[in-house]
Structure 1
Amino acid sequence: MKGRPRPSGPFRWCQGYGQPLPVVTAVDSIPIALGCAARCLTAEEWVATVDSVLNSTDLTIPDIQAEMGRVARAVTAMFGRCDARSQSGTESIARLRLIAAGFEVEVQPGIGTHEHADLRVGALLIECDGRAYHSDVETFRNDRRRDRMTMIDRWMTMRLTYDDVLYHWDGVLEDVRAVTRSDRHRIRRDNDPRRRGTASI
C-alpha cells in the first residue's frame, strides 16, 4: 500500500522486482520469498540459496519462475548460474568465484566407484567443508579415507573451510592459480584413471 510505513527494528525490508504479488497466505511460498530476496541478497548469496532449494526440494527452476510471476532479466541471469547438484552454500559460492576467475569447473565429479567430490578443476579436486566441519568424528575419518583413495587415483585434493571461502578467498584463489600455472592439474596420459568420464582440459 502506498505510504505504508516499513517495519522498524532489526529487520530488512525486501521488495522484489516489479509490483508486489497479492498476499494470500501468512507465510510466503519459497518462490515468492526468492523473488523478494533477489534484490536483498548479493548474486552469490541468492544463487547459493536457490541451489539449496533445488537440491533439497522437488522444485525446479521452471516451477519457481512460474510462481514468481514476472521474472526480471537480472533474476533470469542469476537463475542461469544455479546448479541443483550443489551440496552446500559454501560449495556454490566457491563454484561461482572459480568460474568468475576463468576456471572450467565440474560440479560433483565422480571419484572411485560410488562417490563424488564437490568440485573439480582439471585433476584438482576441491572439497568445501561447512561451518560445522570436524564436529562429526565419522565424517572426519571418511574424509581422510576419501583423500587416500583420490591420491591413489592420482588426483590432488584441496580442502577449503567455510572461512576460507567466505573470508579468505583471495588466498584460496592464489593457491588454485599456483597449481594451475604449474600445469599440475592437467590430465595428460590416455591410461590415466582420471581420464574416465572426463574431457581434456
Structure 2
Amino acid sequence: MSQRNRLVDASEKKDSRAAEQAYKYSKEVQNVLIEVERYKRQQCGGSEQLYYIRLKELQYEEDWKIKEKMTIANGFWRETIFLWNKGKLPDEFFEKQNIWLNRGNMYRLLLEPADIANHYGFKSFADSGHYLDGNRAGRYIFLEDLWARRKSTKPISSIDFALQEQKASIERYQQHCCDRPAQQKITSKLQQSAAFATHRQALHAAKLESSV
C-alpha cells in the first residue's frame, strides 16, 4: 500500500471513529430532547410563550432541572459541529444523512428559545447587547443553513423571541426618551420632589434658628 493510500485509510478510520462516537452519544441527546418536549407539554401545556417565560424566569425546580439537562444537548452539538468544521467527520455526515438534519432541526427549535430566555433572563444583553447582535451561537446558524441548503426551503424560525425582546427594548427606549408627555410627567415629579426637599430644609433651618 502506498503512503498516500495509507494516509487516506487512516483518515477514513479516524472519520469513522468520530462518526461512531457521534452516533453513540446522539442517543443520549435524543433522550434529553424527548425530556424537554415532555417538560414543554406537561409544564407549559405545549405553549411556546409559556415555555419561554418559564425558562426565562426559572421560578420552579422543574425549570432548573430541564435547563441542566439542556447542557448535554448543547455540548453534543457544539462538539459535533466543531469536529465537522475541522474535517474530522465523513463528508456525507451532514450532507447526505437525514438523521442529522432532522435531529439538528429538532434541537434548534427546542433549545434556541431556551438560550434566548437565558440571555434576557440574566440580563446578559445589558453588557453584551441583544441576542441577535453577535450573541447567537454558531451551532444554530449552522443547523439553520444546513436545513435551508438540504431542503431548499426556509427553515422554521427559532429566533422569534429574540426579535420580540429586541422590539420591546426599542419601544421602551423610545417611550423613555421620546414620549414628551411621559418626560414632562417625570420632570414634574422631580421638580415636586426637589421643591418638597427644599421646603423641608427651610423648615429644619427655621427650627434650628428658633431653638438657639
TM-score (norm 1): 0.24
Q: Which structure's residues are more often helix, by fraction?
A: 2
Q: Which structure's residues are more often strand, by fraction?
A: 1
Larger Rg over CA atoms: 2
